[in-house]
Structure 1
Amino acid sequence: MGCCSNKPHSTQLSRFAGNNSQTEDISTFIRCPYCLQDFYDDLTTSRFSEHLLVCKRHSNFIVNEDLNCDLSKDSSYGDKIEWLRNEINKIRIPWHSEHMKFRVKRGDIIKTSMKNILGFSTIDFHKEFQVNFDGELAMDAGGLLREWFTILTKKLFSEKTELFKLANTKCVNYTFPNIIDEARINEYIFTGKLIGKAIFENVPIYCPFTPIIFKHIVDEEIQFKDLSQVDYELYNSLLYILENPVKNVIFETFTVEKEHKGVLTKYSLKEHGSEIMVDDDNKSEYANLRWKFETTDNLQAGLMYLLHGFYSVIPKNLVSIFTSQEFELLLCGLPYIELDDWRKNTIYRGDFTRKSRIIKWFWRILRHFSQKKLSDLITFVTGTPRLPVEGFSSLKTMRGDPAKFTIESIPCENDNALPRAHTCFNRLDLPKYTSRQSLKKGLLYVIRNHKFGFGIE
């Protein structure tokens, strides 16, 4: 048994895994990190790469050698990323000095994680985390932590958890903090701390926040058009009110009604708001108060605790230099897998070289995989479905050592042999298959059945 995730390579191996519903991909689109265009088709990597090649040539993503210390939101993204990671390393506590060990249960991951995490001090969050799952023998050297981040984040943003509410927009996976219950305050604080720790460790996690939440985190001005990312219908309604006469058309007062768990609550947008009807003379004031309520006041309770948790791990001044779009990319990582970058930054060991027949089969098979399948394969090997903003070249261990994606040969006992993953070191052990079909069958089997969880040799 290895020191980290040693995922199965034969169908007879034991496996301890959570519910498969926790691992479903909740993303419905791919966003280009350079031009921020959204693509809603299930594109294969080869098709999407054509768009990326054009965008890359016109981007200023490359880090400048002479780092400007006086950074602002107008500075290049690469400079800001380098500065942030240098600042984080200044407050990082080396693992050999002290680290935090804790155990969680897959079936109750939120509760058992909160029981550990909420007792940690700010200093503790600057130490290395070592997580283990109950009932599993794997020891964490980084792979388990990445898997913990991934599973926990998906669980927190699940509709069943009801911690975050789906926005009424064309993009169904935008969310924002739900109307808060006193009993759930700690969950928002915990979520904020988790997000902060993910950035601290440079582990991309998918948080499907509406862009307004990212604006609040980096202290960016909220504008009227941002309302469309919370409630598209209300945004259009307010536009209609502003551009058309409302007399005998709408019968609204300066109030807002919100329902939560069957309880209807009325909020006044101004003093004595329930007594003031909206008319053509005051409709601009109404629209202004309404959109500000929806994008700030209505989110304030849950957002306040979320930010409290986040800033306790990552000081506000470290992220305030980013734009909201840059911060989203920083937190969530690249939302696509670029096959050319992956191939360029792959290392081969054992009997494999880049010219080996099996390696050629491997890349040909991946060329026809959808982004979802590629993401699942990355999850199998690294523990997380997304990449840092710099791509495959920046893959590291949790202690900062370079750990590029590695394919190593292992014996192929029979046609049912399966690939094996070492998530702590981003390594894929690939059986020396005798046919391309057997290789494809093995890859598809592990990403469908062993994306999370660990096997025992």
Structure 2
Amino acid sequence: MKRDATGRVLNDNIQSGSCSSARYVGSSSPKSLQFFVRYSGGNTQVIHANTDDAVEYVHEKITKKTKIPVAEQGYYSIQKDAQLQLVARLRSTKHPKAWQLVNKLVSAIGSLCRGEYRGANTIVVDDVKLFIKMSSLYIATAVGHNQVFVDGGAAAALVMLFVSPITGNKECAQEAIQLFLPPLNSATIESLSHSAPIILEFCQLLYSKTSQDNQLYISCLNTLGEILAITVIRNVGSEHAKGTVANLGLSAFASELGGKVIKGLESYDVRNFIAFFYPLCKIIENGELGEMGLLPICLTDLLNCYNVERSKLHVVFLEMLGKIIECLKTMEISVGKSRGKTDSFRTQQGQYLCILKTLYTLSKLYEGAEENVLFVLRSRKVALNTLILDSRRSDNHRWILEHKDLTTSESRRHLTMMLLPEVKGDGHLFEMLIDREQLLAESFEYISKANVKDLRYGRLFMEFKNEVATGHGVLRGWFCAVCQAICNPQNALYLACPDDKRRFFPNPASDVNTLHLNYFHFCGRVIALSLVYKVQIGILLDRTFFLQLAGKTVSLEDVRDADPLFYSSCKKILEMDTDLLDSDALGLTFFSEIEKLGSRTIVELLPEGSSIALNSKNRVEYVNLLIQHRFVTSVSHQVKKFAQGFSEILGSTDLLAFFFRSLEHEDLDWMLHGSDKAICVEDWKAHTEYNGCKRTDNHIIWFWKIVEGMSDEQRRVLLFFWTSVKYLPVEGFGGLQSRLYIYNKSHNSYEQLPSARTCFYRLCLPRYKSEAITQKSLLIITQEHLSCSFGMG
């Protein structure tokens, strides 16, 4: 038994069996001791003793109370700060071999602690190995065996051995304890959940006996956290997972670690706290600790409001929320003053995001708490978005995307990009050799038939036939070219919005191409890959297309760009005078006409729709059905195939709608197309460095003067020649993956044209003798039909 802060006796939930255990509990009197002895059937007896009583006297009192003979009561020592002091078992107890081995182990450890038998260190390690082997042979008895190890005092004895000052004892204990830290990649869920109580016992004992930075303690703590993540988070509801957390008293441990986080929010590693926190929350959410649903927040009497587990976590929640508010305030001030981000600042940011996620998760357990957390985040959006922009791919911050009002466009784009796979520098090469004259057909063959794993985890490498250029620059150029080809009206796959020819939506008549659905699948893969490789491809998805990918409903206002005439007609119907509409002046019924290859097909919007006249009462339904048919039903197969291709690169069909819902439509525009602003020459200069020349050289001065005099389209062609980037990110040149370079080689002929290494953003500019010669050379390469011919990749 043990006591909580109020002095009440709390149940340890130790598995009952034909055994008894005695735990020492201090009392208010300095000379008074109490032993709570529990034995067969769950019965408990209280034994009173004094600190100067002999051990034999305590044995006799236990015999008198429990009828257990003194000869069957074993012990190794009694210390005031030890939890498990006496262990007794009956000959009829379960797992007698386990008890026998544990008693032998405890006895050997006692010899080592007393310095009596130096050879016992080998016995200790061998006995631990034997015990682990015994427990692992039969899963059905593993729980009982492990409980014997704890109840028999072996865990406590090993920790006492670890802190023993006698030479060699610490090393022996460390070797033995580490045997209980299993290789997680090869262990079963059952074996992990069964080993959790022993490792928790080590954690608690080591924490009370050593410092919190002790490496053995940290190893045990980390292992226990990983075990809990595996057995609880991934297997909530399974028989092996149930009780793993509920019976371990983790709330006290999580509260203790939470207190450390609160005291050292910037410096304490929050991962240890999280390792215990999330499994505990999962158990609470699933009702395995009793009460279900949200509970009211009571600030005056937490223990009377709800169970102990929730009350302890609630105290941590309140204190941690108050501390993080102050930290975010301080951070906003420091962000405004700081010119750069130090390593310590980045570490601090990572800590803050983890803590905010923890608070958000915990807030869902208490009525009204979630809104409190969201209110804090809304009031500290500057700090939150600063944290987001410096977050790493390894972090899971999907919870933030569920609340788009907390984020800026830049933050949303950053978080959704991390949902996509990362290009690995050492990934397997997926090579393509494509003829420019057969760009779309050959690209389709490569991408549509590729194993999705090669696209997700490999690296795209391509070159055009009869061209020497290779590398990332050529790949960027290919993305732009193939996406433009996909949307070419001649291929009948997409329709362009009348007032914005960059914006496209699926063509309802795309089935004129027998392979049209395969091409939509191919297109989904290509556009997802363009996002993975961070290439602005120069095309946009219409809002009706975007909303369907996000799993949202398309309304009248959403179709304005796709078909302005259709939009105008529907608006007139909705706004038309009631009497005029009811007079059947329009002569409309619930059907629609589809034109394909010059022929018209009638489609009824409702059963027998051609006989249902449009009137003022059904006009809203009529317009909604028209929209549904025109922009959803008629292209549902095309959208489904596109979504399938996109999902394959994303890695999950379930993640697709979340990906698009996490973005505003304008966010996706900037990701696919980049900035609409004219190219700023000053920004260009600021992000350009020089090799073999200086910015003050004549030919460099002439170069920038000529660029300043170019049209925006000429600048884009020059930029494309230089980098294979025609559309800048919304952040401008600062959003590119590298700075730009102008370099000069001494052997370059003055008569040569500039050349580029687009892969490295390098422009080789000869030292021309005059501004006129410089201008003539640049004029040649800014002719768009020549801009792809000089790059070297």
If the TM-score is normalised by the length of the shorter chain, which range does it land in? Answer: 0.7 to 0.9
Q: CA deviation at 1:250?
A: 0.9
Task: Give the paired residue count.
Answer: 386
Q: What is the aligned partner in structure 2 of residue 426 from structure 1?
A: 761
* Equivalent-residue separation in structure 2 for 1:62 and 1:417 (angstroms): 52
Q: CA deviation at 1:301?
A: 2.5
Equivalence map 1:35-434=2 (5 Å): 64-67=385-388, 69=397, 70-72=399-401, 73-74=404-405, 75-88=407-420, 91-92=421-422, 94-126=424-456, 127-138=458-469, 140-167=470-497, 169-178=498-507, 179-181=509-511, 182-244=514-576, 245-246=580-581, 247-314=583-650, 315-316=655-656, 317-336=658-677, 337-351=679-693, 353-396=694-737, 403-410=738-745, 416-434=751-769
Assess, with a 3 A threshold, how the Cα gap between structure 1 residues 61 and 151 changes in structure 2: closer, same or farther. farther
* Equivalent-residue separation in structure 2 for 1:381 and 1:410 (angstroms): 17
Deviations 1:176-226 (A, max 9, x none): 211231421111111111000000111111124323223333445432111
Deviations 1:368-424 (A, max 9, x none): 22221111111111113112333212323xxxxxx3111112458666431111111
Q: CA deviation at 1:331?
A: 1.6
Q: Secondary structure at the match of 2:645?
A: helix
Q: CA deviation at 1:116?
A: 1.1
| Structure 1 gap segments, 5+ residues each | 1-59, 397-402
Q: Secondary structure at the match of 1:123?
A: helix
Q: Judge conservation of contact 1:214–1:325 (CA < 8 Å) in 2.
A: no
* Equivalent-residue separation in structure 2 for 1:297 and 1:340 (angstroms): 49
1:344 partner amino acid: A
Q: Secondary structure at the match of 2:623?
A: helix
Assess, with a 3 A threshold, how the Cα gap between structure 1 residues 157 and 183 changes in structure 2: closer, same or farther. same
Assess, with a 3 A threshold, how the Cα gap between structure 1 residues 287 and 85 changes in structure 2: closer, same or farther. closer
Q: CA deviation at 1:173?
A: 4.2
Range that drifts further, 218-227 or 412-421: 412-421
Q: Judge conservation of contact 2:492–2:510 (CA < 8 Å) in 1.
A: no
Q: CA deviation at 1:94?
A: 2.4
1:225 partner amino acid: E
Q: Judge conservation of contact 2:542–2:562 (CA < 8 Å) in 1.
A: yes
Range that drifts further, 231-240 or 308-317: 308-317
* Equivalent-residue separation in structure 2 for 1:137 and 1:61 (angstroms): 48
Deviations 1:142-201 (A, max 9, x none): 11111111111111111222221233x333443221123142111111111100000011
* Equivalent-residue separation in structure 2 for 1:61 and 1:341 (angstroms): 25
* Equivalent-residue separation in structure 1 for 2:624 and 2:559 (angstroms): 11
* Equivalent-residue separation in structure 2 for 1:213 and 1:63 (angstroms): 31
Point out the structure with the larger helix share. 2
Q: Judge conservation of contact 1:130–1:145 (CA < 8 Å) in 2.
A: yes
Q: Judge conservation of contact 2:756–2:791 (CA < 8 Å) in 1.
A: no
Q: Secondary structure at the match of 2:386?
A: coil
1:111 partner amino acid: A
Assess, with a 3 A threshold, how the Cα gap between structure 1 residues 163 and 418 changes in structure 2: closer, same or farther. same
Q: Judge conservation of contact 2:550–2:659 (CA < 8 Å) in 1.
A: no
Q: Judge conservation of contact 1:215–1:323 (CA < 8 Å) in 2.
A: no
Name the TM-score, length of structure 2 as normaliser.
0.46
* Equivalent-residue separation in structure 1 for 2:520 and 2:778 (angstroms): 37
Deviations 1:53-85 (A, max 9, x none): xxxxxxx99993322833223222222233234
Q: What is the aligned partner in structure 2 of residue 444 from structure 1?
A: 779
Q: Judge conservation of contact 2:750–2:768 (CA < 8 Å) in 1.
A: yes
* Equivalent-residue separation in structure 1 for 2:572 and 2:599 (angstroms): 29
1:112 partner amino acid: E
2:566 partner amino acid: L
The structure with higher relative contact order (CA 8 Å, sep 6+) is 1
Q: Judge conservation of contact 1:177–1:299 (CA < 8 Å) in 2.
A: yes
| Structure 2 gap segments, 5+ residues each | 1-380, 392-396
Q: CA deviation at 1:319?
A: 4.0
Q: Judge conservation of contact 1:157–1:163 (CA < 8 Å) in 2.
A: yes
1:377 partner amino acid: L
Q: Judge conservation of contact 1:214–1:324 (CA < 8 Å) in 2.
A: yes
2:625 partner amino acid: L
Q: CA deviation at 1:288?
A: 2.0
* Equivalent-residue separation in structure 2 for 1:62 and 1:186 (angstroms): 45
1:214 partner amino acid: F
Assess, with a 3 A threshold, how the Cα gap between structure 1 residues 436 and 221 changes in structure 2: closer, same or farther. farther
* Percentage identity across paired residues of the two chains: 24
Q: Judge conservation of contact 1:404–1:426 (CA < 8 Å) in 2.
A: yes
Range that drifts further, 104-113 or 274-283: 274-283
Q: CA deviation at 1:100?
A: 0.7
Name the TM-score, length of structure 1 as normaliser.
0.78
